[in-house]
Amino acid sequence: MTITTIGGVSSGGIPHTGGTLSRVSLVLSFRFKSGIAGTSLHHHLLKSQSVRSSFCCSSSLSVPDMDNNGGPSLYPLHRCKTIHLVRHAQGVHNVEGDKNYKAYMSPEYFDAQLTPLGWQQVDNLRNHVRSCGLFKRIDLVITSPLLRTIQTAVGVFGGEGYTDRMDVLPLMVANAGNSDRAAISSLDCPPIVAVELCREHLGIHPCDKRRTISEYQCLFPAVDFTQIESDEDILWKANVRETKEELVARGMKFLNWLWTRKEKEIAIVTHSGFLFHTLGAFGDDCHPLVKKEICKSFANCELRSMVIVDKSMLGADCSTTNYPGKTPPGPDLPSDVVDDKNQNQATPGS
C-alpha cells in the first residue's frame, strides 16, 4: 500500500530550500512484522502477520537537495483511495493535559468530551469542508468510537439541524455528552461508521477508555456501530499500555482494512497518538522535509488529505473510467512494432 499526500488544512507546508522547484513523487517503503510478544491486547485486534506498506508523497521540493529519491510515481486510478485524516477537536482532557501530562491519568477525564472551544473548532472545519467542495466528494466517514471523535465526526460531516418532525434518526441527540448543542440530522450527509482499529493509544489513560456501545447508540442513533463486536470496552486495560509497536501494527491493519470498503473518498476522524505513531512508520526513504510533512503532530481539528495506493492487489475494484478500445475492431499494429520488424529483417543472421 502507498500513501500520497495531496494537501491539508494546516498552515505551513514544505519550505523553499533553494534551486528550481518541481512537482515530484517520492516512494518510500516500510516493512513491519506485527507478530510481537506482549499483552493480551493483540488477541482482540491483531494476528501475527507481515505487513508490507509504502508511502508515496507528492510535494514541491528542490531538485538539487533530493539525493536519489526523486522521480514521478504512476498508479492505476482504480487502485487508489483518497483519505482525509482528521484529529478530533479540543477535548476537556487536552486543556489540563497540555499543562501537566499527568492529568491524562485522572479518572475525571474518562472518555473526554469536547470543550466549547472544541465545538468552535468543529464549526470552523465544517465550514471549510463545505466551502472548498470537499464535503460533496466524501463517500464515507470513519470515526474512532470515543465521545470526542464521534462528536467531531457528526459535527463536521453531519447534516443540518434536526427536528422531531423528521422521519429519520438523528446523528446526534441534543446535548449529547454535555455539549449544549442542538441535535444533528442524518439527512444529506455521508454515512458515519465507528471502527475500533483507529482508536487512540490503548490502556492506562482513562480519557482513552470508551463507554458501552449501547450508551453511544442512545447519543448517536444514526451512527453505524455494527463494525464493533463487543458492547463493553475489552481493549482498554487499566494497568497495561499498548506498546508503540502494537499501535503501529494496528494502524497498518486499519489502512489495509480500508481496501475492504468500496468507497473511494473517505474521511477518518481519529486521535493524535494514533496518527503520529502510524504515520511515523513512513518517510525514512524520503527527503527529510517530506518525512517531516508526513509525520508532524496533528493540531486539534486539523485535516490532511492523502491518497493510498493498492500495490498488493488487496482491493478488487474495477476501473469505472478505463475504456477497452477497438470498438469497432480494426487493424492497430503499432508503428514501433513495424520498425522492429524492419530492423530485424535488415540485420544479417537474424
Phi-psi region of 280 (alpha: psi -120 to 50; beta: other; left: phi over 0): alpha
State how far the Cα of 61 lies from the Cα of 268, in Å rounded to an integer.
28
Q: Which of 88, 93, 201, 287 is catalytic?
A: 88
State how far the Cα of 259 lies from the Cα of 112, in Å rounded to an integer.
31
Q: At what angle do helices 116-131 and 147-157 cross, to 10 degrees?
A: 40
Task: List C-alpha distances in Å: 70 to 22, 25, 54, 65, 211.
Answer: 10, 7, 15, 10, 47
User: Facing residues of 83 across strands?
Assistant: 266, 306
Give kind and range of the element (H or E) at residue 272: helix 272-279
200 is catalytic: yes
Q: Which of 42, 84, 93, 200 is catalytic?
A: 200
DSSP letter assigned to residue 161: B
What is the full DSSP assignment across 88-135?
A: ---BHHHHHHHH-GGGGG-GGGTTPPBPHHHHHHHHHHHHHHHHTSHH
User: Do the beta carbons of residue 272 and residue 205 sit within 8 Å?
Assistant: no
User: Facing residues of 224 across strands?
Assistant: 193
Please tell me whether residue 6 adopts helix, strand or coil conformation: strand
The pair phi, psi for residue 72, each rounded to 5°, is: -70, 150
88 is catalytic: yes
Active-site residue set: 88, 200
